[in-house]
């Protein structure tokens, strides 16, 4: 499905829901034909001239944004400079997932691979896990990319991942916010290199742009009340943060905190969701430790100061 935002800027929606392993893409049909993210699936990309795509911009390195690169072998690929490691360094790629904490958080060795639980559709070409991706260049915060009559600005928005980027079309006040996706479950910051403080700052950075149209990786296009939507989105995580702090009325383990109702399990209490909830709780605690408000007692036990 293609949604025209103007004569050049178009949203490419997956054939099904824009949920893992899929994401929305942005197609800029201008002098330099450009695609932002490559996770919409081959069925969706059949609607655009794949062989004419000159440039592919990646919001970050996660699989649901990169698996379709092979549909565009002629395109130059660019990503944020802060996340270059994920495309070339297999060890760093796997360490960034955080799964090295699995045994400590879950009480048993991690034996089940995630992709064995998630069969991939036929129009998803790649397999999960590390694969080297050659970047033809990188962008940094504030870089302007001119594609013809269309120009966009790369906006560094870390927190979800260290090199996560949004893209802003200043002439049209259109914002593609990537995985800062206005989910009703709030932001996702469940990787080892995620950072809750960065999430807060990144959402505020997007609000300051005063966008009038918002496209996200995994939801619909929003044409109204964009600032309110972004504030409601981050407030979900801030409310969770306050609940965690209130529960630290005495020393608590991360397992005790994870047993509280913090809104992590709307998609089911699977082993992976339990694990990621503990990683995200850890991100809250790490921020509060930096602020001098929580003490790390060791063995994933914490006390409020």
| Distance separating alpha carbons of residues 57 and 29, to the nearest angstrom | 14
The rounded percent of the chain whose pLDDT value lies above 70 is: 97
Q: Which helix (H) or strand (E) holds 56?
A: strand 55-57
Contact 223, 185 (CB under 8 A): no
Q: Is the pLDDT of residue 228 over 60?
A: yes
In a domain, 262, yes or no: no
In a domain, 101, yes or no: yes
Summarised one tens digit per residue, pLDDT across range 156-169 is: 999 999 999 999 99
| Distance separating alpha carbons of residues 257 and 108, to the nearest angstrom | 19
Summarised one tens digit per residue, pLDDT across range 74-127 is: 999 999 999 999 999 999 999 998 899 999 999 887 765 544 456 899 999 899
CA angle 69, 272, 108 (to 5 degrees): 125
Closest CA to 23 of 10, 11, 8, 34: 11
In a domain, 254, yes or no: no
Looking at residue 108, what is its pLDDT? 82
Q: Is the pLDDT of residue 222 over 60?
A: yes
In a domain, 154, yes or no: yes
Note down the domain range covering 195. Answer: 2-246
Q: Is the pLDDT of residue 147 over 80?
A: yes
In a domain, 300, yes or no: no
Residue 119 DSSP label: P
Contact 293, 305 (CB under 8 A): yes
Looking at residue 212, what is its pLDDT? 97
Looking at residue 112, what is its pLDDT? 56
Q: What does each C-alpha distance from 222 to 5, 216, 219, 229, 237 come to in angstroms? A: 11, 9, 9, 9, 21
Q: Report how many domains make up the chain.
A: 1
| Distance separating alpha carbons of residues 217 and 224, to the nearest angstrom | 17
Looking at residue 111, what is its pLDDT? 63
Q: Is the pLDDT of residue 252 over 80?
A: yes
| Distance separating alpha carbons of residues 106 and 238, to the nearest angstrom | 25
Is the pTM of the predicted complex or chain greater than 0.85?
A: yes
Higher pLDDT, 110 or 42: 42
Looking at residue 74, what is its pLDDT? 95
| Distance separating alpha carbons of residues 265 and 258, to the nearest angstrom | 10
Looking at residue 115, what is its pLDDT? 45
In a domain, 181, yes or no: yes
- CATH value at residue 121: 3.60.15.10
What do you get for the CA distance between the two ends of the chain, in Å?
Answer: 52
In a domain, 252, yes or no: no
Summarised one tens digit per residue, pLDDT across range 49-69 is: 999 999 999 999 999 999 999
Residue 179 DSSP label: T
In a domain, 255, yes or no: no
Residue 186 DSSP label: -
């Amino acid at each position: 499905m293609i949604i025209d935002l103007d004569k050049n800027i178009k949203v490419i929606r997956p054939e099904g829901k824009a949920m893992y392993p899929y994401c929305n893409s942005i197609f800029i049909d201008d002098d330099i034909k450009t695609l932002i993210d490559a996770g919409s699936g081959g069925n969706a990309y059949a609607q655009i001239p794949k062989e004419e795509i000159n440039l592919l911009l990646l919001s970050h390195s996660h699989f649901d944004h990169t698996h379709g690169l092979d549909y565009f072998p002629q395109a130059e690929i660019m990503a944020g400079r802060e996340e270059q490691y994920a495309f070339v360094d297999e060890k760093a790629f796997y360490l960034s997932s955080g799964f090295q904490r699995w045994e400590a958080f879950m009480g048993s060795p991690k034996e089940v691979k995630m992709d064995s639980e998630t069969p991939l559709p036929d129009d998803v070409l790649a397999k999960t896990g590390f694969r080297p991706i050659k970047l033809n260049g990188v962008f940094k915060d504030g870089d302007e990319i001119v594609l013809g009559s269309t120009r966009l600005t790369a906006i560094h928005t870390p927190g979800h991942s260290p090199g996560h980027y949004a893209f802003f079309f200043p002439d049209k006040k259109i914002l593609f916010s990537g995985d800062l996706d206005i989910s009703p479950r709030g932001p996702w910051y469940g990787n080892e290199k995620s950072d809750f403080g960065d999430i807060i700052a990144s959402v505020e950075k997007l609000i300051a742009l005063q966008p009038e149209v918002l496209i996200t990786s995994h939801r619909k296009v929003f044409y109204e009340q964009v600032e309110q939507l972004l504030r409601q989105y981050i407030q979900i995580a801030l409310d969770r943060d306050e609940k965690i702090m209130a529960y630290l009325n005495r020393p608590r383990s991360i397992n005790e905190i994870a047993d509280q109702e913090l809104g992590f399990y709307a998609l089911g209490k699977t082993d992976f969701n339990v694990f990621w909830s503990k990683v995200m709780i850890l991100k809250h605690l790490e921020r509060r430790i930096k602020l001098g408000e929580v003490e790390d007692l060791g063995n994933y036990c914490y006390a409020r100061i």
